[in-house]
Structure 1
Amino acid sequence: MNQHFTAPAEATDQPRATPQDVVRLVDLKRRFGATPALDGVSLTVRKGEILGIIGRSGAGKSTLIRCLNGLERPDSGEVFIEGREISRLGERDLQPLRRRIGMIFQHFNLLSAKTVEDNVALPLKIEGRPKAERLQRAAELLDLVGLSEKAKAYPASLSGGQKQRVGIARALAARPALLLSDEATSALDPETTRSILALLKDINRQLGLTILLITHEMEVIRSIADRVAVIDAGRIVEEGPAWSVFAEPRSDITRSLLGAIRPQLPAELAGRLLPSAGTETILRVDVAGEAARGPLLSDLAAAVPGPFRLVHGGIDHIQQQPVGTLFLAVPGSEAGHLADVITFLKARQARVEVLGHVANSV
């Protein structure tokens, strides 16, 4: 993997088909009245990867996922699943293709009158598989999601996290090529969310299963996604490896979505910032890859004589890549010193922004 701090490619070109593409969308458009829900979406999901699609409410996420599973037909464009274009297929031809797509939902969608094992086995019953085969498969999947002891229980007796595990097991029953997750953790508490995301990552590793996550939560993307695509007003506005997008978001919507989980300048300090004429200059320094692995601040102190101080920030890890945001206070009385600090940091592949100045020491 390229270790340099490079910006993610923007999604402007149509994806090229390869044998490894489980999903390929080409210039997908869908309008409801005068409102474009999808406005030229082109995207691929490769075999064995976890792709997160993130956006605010109304961005087009739900329409996109409905086009993927054949519940919504685009006005124009193409939807390929494992190389076959599905958007113009009739219902009869869609049925076997839908079995190649597993689906997990925000509110679980379990049948309350059926036991856990019967809920898991339901897709196989619809296929007409023998009862013994259905129950064996259900037992295998309940063991996979850690709920073997709940096989005879009913959904009403389960916690939210347990219900979602049943939903995941059911989605895997027909051995799909693609798992769609539609806000699957939005109704769960943070601890349960972490356990469900860890389970999905483990399933991805064990089965090599391709997963497409629809979410409005950057924490979900940070936890398990290999790649991320940001959707806004029906368009993919940014796309790339998750760590790269987190390290250097290009679009305003991506920066806004990241705001809740990336380090931000403390409000008390932000309130004291002046556009000029301060005793200290506040820098925001974003680093990733090699720049974040080394002793950046120690090297800065050794290479550039003069004071500076770390006032806030830290290093996170995404896809085993370090991604960090640091806030430094540099005395502003010597312009040459500040320029030397910025030059050194940029030479180390860091992105540096002057946020402002403060009249008194931080």
Structure 2
Amino acid sequence: MTSPFPQAGGAEQGENRREAVVRLSGVHRHFGDTPAIDGVSLTVHKGEILGLIGRSGAGKSTLIRCLNGLERPDRGSIKIEGREITGLSEEQLQPLRRRIGMIFQHFNLLSAKTVEENVALPLKIEGWSTEKRLARAAELLDLVGLSGKARSYPSALSGGQKQRVGIARALAAGPALLLSDEATSALDPETTAAILELLKDINAKLGLTILLITHEMEVIRSIADRVAVIDAGRIVEEGPVWSVFANPRTAITQSLLSGIRPHLPQHVAARLVSEPVGEVVLGVDLSGPDAGVLLAGLSGALAGGFRLIHGGVEHIQQQSVARFFLGIPPASDGPARAVAYLERHGAKVEVLGHVPGHD
């Protein structure tokens, strides 16, 4: 049977970068009176890695199930490679599901089958010959770095190796879209980094579109091109990863970022007062080319100097993103001059309070 879905190809990635592989418009899904998905509109472009992040219960799992047809939305539109899927029958959904690969948190490997049999299983279901499916499994195991484990069983593998098998199996039928559902949350940090690097490599080599579902901002920072934040079934923030990290607009995004962004040290925060006594403490956020040289310029602008309490510059998607906490002597107009200088250079500045004893 010829698939009604166009075939993906890595060579076309450049010219088709903005082509939509997934397009959701006004999607709703309720369970009783509870809205699991509440008017979600979201586009995943061909060849990109989009990170969808939210806390447990935010609606991530329901959204995935709507994408692969396991849940039917109450209303709204879901298009995969340009085809509306919400009204398809179970039989009509089968070609769609072959276009979507899935990797899971707990691997979902069959313990009684070898690694190569696990990878080849989707192809066996599709009716491929033994010779062809084992050849395809060998090709994919080489891609994920497990060519020597073809005859091993899952029980003999580490967690990272099991996830590599899961990735190879998800790629078996040549999908247009790879859904990664918390695929690294059961792994240690070193293994997580290796798996994310593998996904980036696969994205680059195959031009594969990846929708990465996670609750970890560190994962988003490591691999995603764009991020969408979901909360209570709604997309509350969306944009390039560097931009969202530099200027998180919503409370939920700020909370999700709190574990990996610099904080005002506790011993300083404990001494902050609102009364205008002592050193003025500023929180400063800045992105772009000025981020790395901002403080040098500030030194020249302030006769009384300043104190760098905490912070630094990191590079996300080749963009400089800075977060600093500065102490400004209260004498004369130093604090006002500092704020004016920082804002003139595009910084977002917040006066956090005063620290007595630093005057």
Matches within 5 A, 1:213-224: 213-224=212-223
* Aligned residue number for residue 248 of structure 1: 247
| Structure 2 residue aligned with 1:331 | 329
Large movers: runs of 4+ above 4 Å: none
Q: Which residue of 2 aligns with 1:8?
A: none
1:276 deviation in Å? 1.8
Secondary structure at 2:290 match in 1? helix
Which structure has the higher relative contact order (CA within 8 Å, separation 6+)? 1
Cα distance, 1:316 vs structure 2 = 1.4
Cα distance in 2 for partners of 1:68, 1:322 equals: 35
Task: Using the TM superposition, give the Cα deviation of residue 299 of structure 1 relative to its aligned residue in structure 2, in angstroms.
Answer: 1.1
Distance 1:318 1:96 in 2: 37
Shift of 1:320: 1.3
Give the alignment's TM-score, normalised by structure 2: 0.94
Correspondences of 1:86-97 after superposition (within 5 Å): 86-97=85-96
Q: For structure 2, list consecutive stretches of 5 or more residues without a partner in the other structure.
A: 1-16
2:131 is the counterpart of 1:118: no
> Do the aligned partners of 1:52 and 1:227 also contact (CA within 8 Å) in 2?
yes
Bigger shift: residues 92-101 or 295-304: 295-304
Q: Output the CA distance in 2 between the equivalents of 1:291 and 1:79.
A: 41
Between the aligned partners of 2:266 and 2:34, the Cα distance in structure 1 is: 38
Structure 1, residues 58-116: CA drift from partner, whole Å, max 9, x if none? 00000000001111100000110000011111111100110000000000000000000
| 1:357 is the counterpart of 2:354 | yes
Query: What SS does the aligned partner of 1:291 have?
Result: coil
Q: Residue 300 of structure 1: CA displacement?
A: 1.1
> Which residue matches 1:73?
72
Residue 191 of structure 2 is aligned to residue 192 of structure 1: yes
Tell me, what secondary structure is at the counterpart of 2:103?
Answer: strand
Report the CA distance between 1:307 and its aligned residue: 1.6
Cα separation, 1, equivalents of 2:282 and 2:245: 19
Distance 1:166 1:321 in 2: 34
User: Any unmatched runs of 5+ in structure 1?
Assistant: 1-17
Residues in 2 aligned to 1:222 and 1:360: alpha-carbon distance in whole angstroms: 38
Q: Which residue of 2 aligns with 1:291?
A: 290
Counting only pairs closer than 5 Å after superposition, residues 132-211 of structure 1 correspond to structure 2 as: 132-211=131-210
Tell me the number of residue pairs that the alignment of Structure 1 and Structure 2 aligns.
343
Hey, what does 1:344 align to over in structure 2? Answer: 341
Residue in 1 that maps onto 2:310: 312
Superposed CA deviations along residues 176-214 of structure 1, whole A, max 9, x for unmatched, are: 000000000011111111110111011101111000011
Q: CA deviation at 1:45?
A: 0.1
> CA–CA distance in 2 between the matches of 1:231 and 1:360?
43
Give distance in 2, aligned partners of 1:296 and 1:114: 58
Structure 2 partner of 1:43: 42
Equivalent in the alignment of 2:3: none
1:15 corresponds to:
none
Give the 3-state SS of the residue equivalent to 2:212 in structure 1. Answer: strand
Task: Answer whether contact 1:279 1:333 (CA < 8 A) is retained.
Answer: no
Q: What's the secondary structure of 1:323's corresponding residue?
A: strand
Q: State whether residues 121 and 137 of structure 1, in contact with CA within 8 Å, keep that contact through their aligned partners in structure 2.
A: yes
Deviations 1:293-320 (Å, cap 9, x if unpaired)? 4x21111112332220111001111111
Match of 2:51 in 1: 52
**Does the CA-based 8 Å contact 1:53-1:212 persist in structure 2?**
yes
Using the TM superposition, give the Cα deviation of residue 278 of structure 1 relative to its aligned residue in structure 2, in angstroms.
Answer: 2.2
Residue 245 (structure 1) shift: 0.3
Aligned partner of residue 291 in structure 2, secondary structure: helix
CA displacement 1:111-165 (0-9 Å, x = unmatched): 0000000100111111101111101111111011100010000000000000000
Compare 325-334 and 242-251 and name the one that shifted more: 325-334
RMSD: 1.1
Residue 19 of structure 1 and its aligned partner are, at CA, apart by: 7.1
| Helix, strand or coil at the partner of 2:311 | strand
Q: What TM-score comes out, normalization by structure 1 length?
A: 0.93
Distance in structure 2 (CA, Å) of the matches to 1:271 and 1:45: 44
Indicate the residue corresponding to 2:5 in structure 1.
none
Aligned mates of 1:309, 1:151 — CA distance in 2 = 58
8 Å contact from structure 1 (residues 179, 210) kept in 2: yes
Counterparts of 2:258 and 2:146, CA distance in 1 = 36
Matched-pair identity in % = 70
Query: Where does 1:2-17 land on structure 2 (aligned, <5 Å)?
Result: none
